[in-house]
Amino acid sequence: MLVDSHAHLDMDDFDPDRPDIIKRAEAAGVERIVTIGIDVESSRKALEIALANEGIYAAVGIHPHNAASYGKHDIETIASIVSSSDKVVGWGEIGLDFNRNYAPRDEQVRLFESQLCLSHDLNLPIIIHDRDAHTEVLEILKRHPVGKRGGIIHCFSGDLELALTFIKMGFFISIPGTVTYKKAETVKTVAAQIPLERLLVETDAPFLAPVPMRGKRNEPAFVRYTATEIAHLRGIEPQALTEAASENAGRLFGIA
Ligand SMILES: [Zn+2]
Ligand SMILES: [Zn+2]
C-alpha cells in the first residue's frame, strides 16, 4: 500500500490518458492519491476526478502563482466546493513562491493568510507550497498557527533544521522525487533523519519525476521509486517505509 500525497491529476498533461495513469497507479500499489487544486477550475476538476475514482481524494485552494489573477469570490467558491463533498480532504496548495514570482510578493502573502484563516474555519489540514520563501512562510505560520488537523510542507526543499522546526509546529514533511537525484544531498539528509511518523511521500506529478524516470512526465505510480530511495537512505525495508508513510497520510487526511 502506498499513498501519493500530492499529484495534479487535473492538469492537461494527463488529458490523453488519465484513466491509464490511474490504472497504472493501482497496479503499482498506490491505493490512495490526493489530487491538488491550484485555482477554482482545477479544484473543481480535482473533486470531479476524486468522485469518479475510489481511492482518489481532492484538496482545493489557490496556488501563489495565481495570487495576482484570482477573482474576488474565488475563495468563497472554493469553500463551497469543500462543503459539497467529503472527498475534499485538504486545503491547498497555498503558500509562497519567491522563485518564479508570478505574482507580487505582497499579494502572495495576502492570499496565503486569508486561506490559512479559512482552512481553520473549515477544519481541514493545509498543504503548503514553499519555494525560496522559507523565512517568510515560517513567519506567517508563526502568526497563524496550524489548526488541530495539522498540515503538510509539500515538496520540502529546506534543510534538516527547518524540517524539524516545521515538525515542532505540527507539520508533516512531504518528500518528492528530487530525493532520488544524485546531487540532492540536503533533501536526502532530511528524508533520512526526520522522525518516520512525520514523513510523507509525493510525486507532484506531472512534475519532478524521480530517477529512473527523471525528465519524463511524472505520474503517481512513480512514487514507489521515491519511497524505495528513502527506505534505502534510512536503512529500512521499503515496505516498512511505505507502510509508515501511508499510515501518516491516512491519519492526516482521514482517509485510512
Ligand atoms: Zn507546490
Ligand atoms: Zn503541487
pLDDT tens, residue by residue, 205-250: 999 999 999 999 999 999 999 999 999 999 999 999 999 999 999 9
pLDDT tens, residue by residue, 88-124: 999 999 999 999 999 999 999 999 999 999 998 899 9
Q: How many domains does the chain have?
A: 1
The H or E element that residue 6 is part of is: strand 2-7
SS3 assignment for 59-93: EECCCHHHCCCCCCCHHHHHHHHHHHCCCEEEEEE
pLDDT tens, residue by residue, 7-25: 999 999 999 999 999 999 9
Rounded Cα distance between 87 and 90, Å, is 9
pTM confidence score: 0.97
Query: DSSP secondary-structure letter at 177?
Result: G
Q: Which ligand is nearest to the CA of 203?
A: 2
Arithmetic mean of pLDDT, 36-42: 98
Q: Which ligand is nearest to the CA of 38?
A: 2
Q: Which ligand is nearest to the CA of 46?
A: 2
Q: What angle do CA 41, 47, 26 make, to 5 degrees?
A: 125
CATH classification of the domain holding 188: 3.20.20.140
Domain with 143, as residue range(s), is 2-253
Ligand 2 centre from 205 Cα, in Å? 8
